[in-house]
Amino acid sequence: MTLSKASEPAELKSDDDDSFSFSDVALEDWISLGLFFLLATILIAQVVSRYALNAPLGWTEEVARYQLILLSFIGASIGFRKNTHISFVYFHSFVPHRLMPICSALLSLINTLFLVFLFITCLAIVPLITNHEMSSLSLSISVLYGLLGLSLALCLLRSSIRCANDIKGLFIRADIKADSPHATSTNTPLTKDP
Amino acid sequence: MVIIALFVSLFLLIILGVPIAFALAIASLIAIAIEGSIPSLVVFHQMVGGMDSFPLLSIPFFILAGALMNQGGITQRIFDFAGALMGWLRGGLGHVNIGASILFSGMSGAAVADAGGLGAMEIKAMRNKGYDADFSVGLTAASSTIGPIIPPSLPMIIYGVMAGVSIGQLFAAGIIPGLLMALSLFIMVTIYARKRNYPKDNSFSVKRIVVSFKHAFASLLAPVIIVGGILTGWFTATEAAIVACVYALLLSTLVYRNLTLKGLLKVSVSTIETTSSIMLIIGGAAIFSWVLTSQNIHQIVADSLGFAGSNKYLVLLAITLILFLVGCFMETIAAITILTPILLPVAIAAGIDPVQFGVIMVLNLMIGLLTPPLGMVLFVLSQVSDVPVEQCAKATLPFIVPLVIVLALIMLVPALTLWLPSVLY
């Protein structure tokens, strides 16, 4: 009684299909998977320590909160690689076919530039908060921001690869002057094809 | 000026197709640059600050639990049980659709997840039995909004975080409105079934009900554990989410044996992607809302709602119209994060309970998920059913009527939301 392909948890992604192969799994996937299962373990430890052992662990809540933030930014790089961030590309169906590659390139350029901004400001924040300690561990909050900076660097890497490809594609397309149907996403109203 | 720049740039960025999270943050950055005196460091700092909250940790685990239940065959068993229970009525699968949504809503917290998992199953079953495409899609869209009203519910968790309201109370408050929504849809299906002379899908059989109940028993325990655990105060929302995951994992690997390691990794990666998308939207909405606050938006909103005076119902009506409009154009989570700090003080000043207001807000935004131009549930159902979005929207329209009636009821009668929490807490 397995479910049919159509009944997969589609969530908000349009490219969700049944094929899962380990070759599609990149570095950031493994890091975030590790972090995700570690997070689950910590929370299970919290439940067990509170209900079974009656001796709640003090540090689990805070560490778990920071882990979720970190996971969000590392996971975001998967989204930039596969182009699955929640966005409304419904209006793209009104954009003429030939202008679509320019639109995609513009989008990835905007994403990349904003990631550069976030990366720089994140690094600028680090020295300002070295004196602030976490409340349950004797670690500086700047450790969190340092790790966030690394995650943003990963996002930036993925986003700029996409951006470079989009722009390169623009010139190649201008050369051969041919419409390539896969560059548009009019058939998937929610998110774009990777 | 700053506020106008904020909204215009947000609108343009969203139309262009920039990810919602970035559209919110970039619009805020533009507004800050125009304002001139706020350091730009605040953007990233506020994004991180908005994401830093313990109850938000329940998001990935409720998403994972729902995905595990779809992948592991739990959803299918619940659907079969609802089929045995209600398939013998006229328009049987229509009733089954609503019944399964009620049962499933006790395990899942997002309308979009309900539409993509259970909804796909429901539409397929209805189409196979010869129901009209319009009826199947419209009903499925409407019934998927029951999920976030009956606990657990991601929108209510986010509202609770933003409003500082107990998530347990919010969850308890959603139960009666959720059941009312189901009741109103049951009535609607009965009327349709009479008028269009829909078939009875199977005959009534106690034996079938008992067999499918036994088959689904362990699956049906999942909502009991989750909802019961939260309502009795045994678990916090986050702990309930973790327990739900562990239960779904044990059930689908050890008992049903439907889940492989590959399957687990696949749903985990997809959970991480969805989680980080949602969390970034919360972060983006946090800085957006911060900029709005810095521009005294509260005063502006309070002034423009001044015509309503202290008349509770006029205020509620005005807020509902705002929520409905925003719900049509904005993503639910962003809308809750941005609007709660702005609208809640107005509501409290007019004497509306924050718990009741939370349910009103979430139901309002759920209706927004069913309306064009940006109805997320419509997009998802269009994808899983191969019915064009425009047709989905048209088909869903009549089913919005019973939901609006329920919305009016919970606005007029506070006891519908506040009675259950007052008994439990």
Q: In this predicted structure, what is the pLDDT of residue A148?
A: 95
Which positions 116-175 of A are in contact with B (Cβ < 8 Å)?
117-118, 121-122, 124-125, 128, 145, 148
- Res. B255 pLDDT band, cuts 50 70 90: confident
Please choose, from the candidates B211, B272, B148, B97, the residue with its C-alpha nearest in 3D space to the C-alpha of residue A70: B272
Average pLDDT over residues B174-186: 95
pLDDT for B77-101, tens place per residue? Answer: 888 888 888 888 888 889 899 998 8
Query: Residue B200, SS3?
Result: strand
Q: Give the CA distances from residue B38 to residues B8, B29, B41, B42, B190, in Å, rounded to whole numbers and listed in that order.
A: 20, 10, 9, 8, 58
Q: Are B80 and B58 in contact (CB under 8 A)?
A: no
What pLDDT sits at residue B301?
83
pLDDT category of residue B172 using cuts at 50, 70 and 90? very high
Residue A2 in this model has a pLDDT that exceeds 70: no
pLDDT interval class at A174 (50, 70, 90): low
Q: What is the pTM for the complete model shown?
A: 0.85
Residue B227 has pLDDT above 90, yes or no: no
Model confidence at A181: pLDDT above 80:
no
Report, in angstroms and rounded to the nearest whole number, the Rg of chain A calculated over CA atoms. 21
Q: How far, in whole angstroms, is CA B297 from its chain's centroid?
A: 27
Question: Cβ contacts (< 8 Å) between A142 and chain B: which residues?
Answer: none
Task: Indicate if the pLDDT at residue B179 is higher than 90.
Answer: yes
Torsion from C-alpha of B302, B307, B313, B315, nearest 10 degrees: -20
Rounded to the nearest 5 degrees, what angle is found at the Cα of B206, between the Cα atoms of B203 and B212? 95
Structure-token pair, residue B238: 């986050």
In Å, how far are A55, A65, B225, B234 from A51, measured between CA atoms?
8, 20, 15, 9
Write out the two tokens for B256: 């049903």
Name the least confident of A85-89, B80-84, B152-156: A85-89
The rounded distance, in Å, linking the Cα atoms of B176 and B335 is: 24
Residue of A18, A87, A129, A191 to mutate, interface with B, max B Cβ within 10 Å? A87
| Closest residue to A61, CB basis, from B51, B54, B120 | B54
Residues 6 or more apart whose CB falls under 8 angstroms from that of B43 comprise A117, A118, A121, B25, B28, B29, B32, B287
Confidence of residue A22 (pLDDT cuts 50, 70, 90): low
> Chain A 57-96, CB below 8 Å of chain B: which residues?
61, 64-66, 68-69, 71-76, 78-79, 82, 84-92
- Among partner residues A3, A71, A111, which is closest to B76 by beta-carbon distance? A3
- CA B371, B377, B382, B385 dihedral sign is negative
| Residue A173's pLDDT band (cuts 50, 70, 90) | low
Three-state secondary-structure class, residue A133: strand
pLDDT at residue A12, as a whole number = 36
Per-residue model confidence (pLDDT) at position A19: 54
pLDDT the model gives residue A194: 31
Query: Is A175 buried (19+), middle (13-18) or exposed (0-12) by CB count in 10 A?
Result: exposed
Nearest chain A CA: its distance from B93 CA (Å): 17
Cα–Cα distance for residue pair B81/B90, rounded to 1 Å:
17
Give the separation between CA B131 and CA B197, rounded to whole angstroms: 11
> What one-character-per-residue DSSP string does B105-141 give?
HTT---HHHHIIIIIHHHHHHHHHTT--HHHHHHHHH
Nearest to B244 by CA among B66, B98, B403, B26: B66
Average pLDDT over residues B177-184: 96
Per the CB < 8 Å rule, is A65 touching B53? Answer: yes
> What would the mean pLDDT of B314-334 be, rounded to a whole number?
86
Instruction: Tell me the shortest Cα–Cα distance from B38 to chain A, in angstroms.
Output: 14
Nearest-by-Cβ selection for A43 from B112, B238, B374 = B238
Contacts of B321 (CB under 8 A, 6+ apart): none
- Which range of B109-123, B165-179, B293-307 scores highest in mean pLDDT? It is B165-179
Where are the domains positioned within chain B?
A: 1-38, 39-424
Per residue in B129-150, pLDDT tens?
A: 888 888 999 999 999 899 889 9
Has residue B356 got a pLDDT over 80? yes
Q: Stretch B151-171: mean pLDDT, rounded?
A: 91
Q: Is the pLDDT reported for residue B329 higher than 80?
A: no
B160-163: long-range contacts at Cβ-Cβ below 8 A with a sequence spacing of 24 or more? B160/B55, B160/B237, B160/B358, B161/B53, B161/B55, B161/B56, B162/B336, B162/B337, B162/B340, B162/B341, B163/B340, B163/B344, B163/B354, B163/B357, B163/B358
- Are residues A3 and B121, on separate chains, in Cβ contact within 8 Å? yes
In a mutational test of the B interface, the residue from A30, A86, A135 whose CB has the highest number of chain B CBs within 10 Å is A86
Of B66-75, B242-251, B356-365, the least confident? B66-75
More confidently predicted of B30 and B108: B30
Nearest CA in chain A to B252: A2
> A29 contacts in B (CB within 8 Å)?
269, 272
In this prediction, what percent of chain B has a pLDDT beyond 70? 98
Q: How far is Cα A55 from Cα B148, in angstroms, rounded to an integer?
A: 34
Are B276 and A73 a contacting pair at CB < 8 A? yes
Which pLDDT tens digit goes with each residue over A27-85? 888 999 999 999 999 988 888 888 777 777 778 888 999 999 999 999 999 988 888 88
Nearest CB among B17, B266, B280 relative to A76 is that of: B280
Q: Judge whether residue A183 has pLDDT over 50.
A: no
Q: How far is A73 from chain B (nearest CA, A)?
A: 7
Residue of B nearest to A14 (CA): B383
- In this complex, the residue of B41, B71, B271 whose CB is nearest that of residue A3 is B71
Which among B26, B30, B48 is the top mutation candidate for probing chain A, defined by the most A β-carbons within 10 Å of its own β-carbon? B48
Asked if A75 lies within 8 A of B275 by C-beta distance, the reply is yes
Q: Where are the alpha helices (DSSP H) in B234-375?
A: 237-250, 261-294, 297-304, 312-329, 332-349, 354-368
What is the distance between the alpha carbons of residues B118 and B122, in angstroms, rounded to a whole number? 6
ipTM above 0.95, yes or no: no
Q: How confident is the model at residue B418 (pLDDT cuts 50, 70, 90)?
A: very high
Among candidates A75, A89, A124 on the partner chain, residue whose Cβ is nearest the Cβ of B276: A75
Condensed to tens digits (0 to 9), the pLDDT of residues A94-149 reads 888 888 888 889 999 999 999 999 999 999 998 888 888 888 787 888 889 999 99
Classify residue A177 by its DSSP letter.
T
Q: Please report the pLDDT score of residue B308 as a whole number.
A: 66
Q: Which residues, listed in sequence order, are joined to residue B424 by a DSSP beta bridge?
A: none
Three-point CA angle A68, A69, A71, nearest 5°: 60
DSSP 8-state assignment for residue A3: P
Does residue B160 carry a pLDDT above 70?
yes
What pLDDT score does A180 carry? 46
**Residue A17: band (very low, low, confident or very high) from pLDDT cuts 50, 70, 90:** very low
